[in-house]
Amino acid sequence: MTIKPHTNTDQPLSTAQISPPLFRQLLIVGILGFSAIWAIDAYSGIIAVFDAFSYPICITAFILIYLISFSRPNQQSLHYLAYLVVAGYLISCSIWHHLPGNGQFSNSAQWLGLNYVIVYLFLDVKKAAPATAIVFVATITGHYFALIQNHTTGEALVVTLNMAIAHAIYIFLLWTVIKLRVKTDQVIARADMLEDFAYIDVLTRALNRRGIEKVFNELNLDSAEQKKNYAIIIIDIDHFKQVNDLNGHLIGDKVLTSIAGKLSRTIHPNDILGRWGGEEFIILSLDRTPEQVMTLAENLRVAVSQLVIDDITNITVSIGIGHSHEASSKEAVFKVADDHLYDAKQSGRNTIRATQV
């Protein structure tokens, strides 16, 4: 398990990016949807001339976008293109059916609300907002000019004003839902951030003692059913008090952060690093043989000894190792490692102690 603090959550409204697999699934839904409506209209014998041409065009467009999506193009461009197909069809179909002589068997207007839902599904909110405005204007003005062909100006205006109010309400409600969703996501992100900070050492950015204990408990290291092979490595910076006394605490803090960074870069990605307190660090290494753990410890010791921090050289560490097979609980394994660390420090420091295999 890795605990990482979150970055700033006070960001503009955005929606989650649609992954390519999900986008392709939506395209398949579009293909099947158009095909089903086409089949129903054709079977019933009431298919409009416009739909007879537009259905196959839309289906073909979706199939092409689907195939192109596998070639790793700009995904946002594909989203725009797919939305253009949907919005273009819905608006033009509804306008066509409102022209004189084309109004029979028209179900087109009931689908126009999809334009506002789909735009926020496919596009980021910052891009979806202007697209929504364009679609809204195109829908209202297009229907007005279609209606005025066979109605008085007043009648056409009344119908389009009703449509404009209804669509404005659609947009407002959808925008409200998105704002609430994003606000909720931000609250959750902030809560996660505060929780994570409770487990992170502010100075070294490694897990703190509380974080280490949380990870140890979540891994259920002492489970009899899932007995795990692990090692606990305790690392203590030699003569760290002298570093603080001679160079000041600011340099001491720099030494701590540099060593933490070096340890983090040296261990395996699956290993868990934490600052146990003061100048002590702890590493939980999973599924390693004693020989592999010893090699890791030696690599850590050598890596630290090669550090030069503000002209400070000869920085060394003492290391104690405890293995899960040496004790019945993680607390007992830690005690084994701690005892070995004490031996390493008593033996002149800059050394590693572990039970002989």
Instruction: Report the distance separating Cα 18 and Cα 20, nearest Å.
Output: 6
Which residues, in sequence order, are CB contacts of 309 under 8 Å at separation 6+? Answer: 251, 254, 255, 258, 315
Provide CB contacts within 8 A for 130, sequence distance 6+.
none
Contacts for 342 with CB less than 8 Å, ≥ 6 apart:
320
CA–CA distance, 10 with 6 (Å, rounded to integer)? 11
Residue with tokens 């868990």: 272
Active-site entry in 195, 213, 279, 331: 279
Three-state DSSP state, 241: helix
* Strands laid side by side in the 272-277 sheet: 272-277, 280-286, 230-237, 317-323, 352-353
> 294 and 305 in contact (C-beta within 8 Å)?
no
How far apart, in whole angstroms, are the C-alpha atoms of residue 315 and residue 331?
29
Give the SS3 label for residue 352.
Answer: strand
Let me know if 280 is a catalytic residue. no
- Alpha-helix runs per DSSP H in the chain: 20-44, 49-68, 75-98, 114-122, 125-147, 153-197, 209-219, 240-247, 249-266, 290-305, 330-346
CA max distance for the chain: 101
Which residues are part of the catalytic machinery?
279
